[in-house]
Amino acid sequence: MTAASQNTPQLMAPASHQFSCAYEDFVKSGMEMAGSTKDPGSQSRIVTELRSVSMMASKFLLATKSLVTDPNAPNVKNLLAQAARLQIETLAHLILS
């Protein structure tokens, strides 16, 4: 979505849809993984990390919405880039934990 935001707002709708589908698949897989784990501590960690990913995804989508709403707003592209980085870091933390 960050790449689509640099081109035209018309590219944002398909990019958002693609993100939504990928995110839904990711969450389903994460919940399946948590459900198949016998260790309650591991289940708790997975669910906690999935919540963190969800929170960062929400911030990322809000930053994207801000950019589409007012592409000339101060720092809006920086906020989107920062939200994207935080999303990647959160995903990496989930995968590595």
Sequential pLDDT tens for the chain (97 residues): 555 455 566 777 788 889 889 989 999 999 999 999 999 999 999 999 999 999 988 888 888 888 888 888 888 889 889 988 998 998 898 888 7
> Can you state the angle between helices 76-96 and 40-69, rounded to 10 degrees?
170
Task: Classify 91 as helix, strand or coil.
Answer: helix
What is the rounded CA–CA span in Å between residue 58 and residue 70? 18
- The helix or strand, by DSSP H or E, that contains position 26, with its residue range, turns out to be helix 12-36
Domains with residue ranges and CATH for the chain: 2-96 (1.20.1420.10)
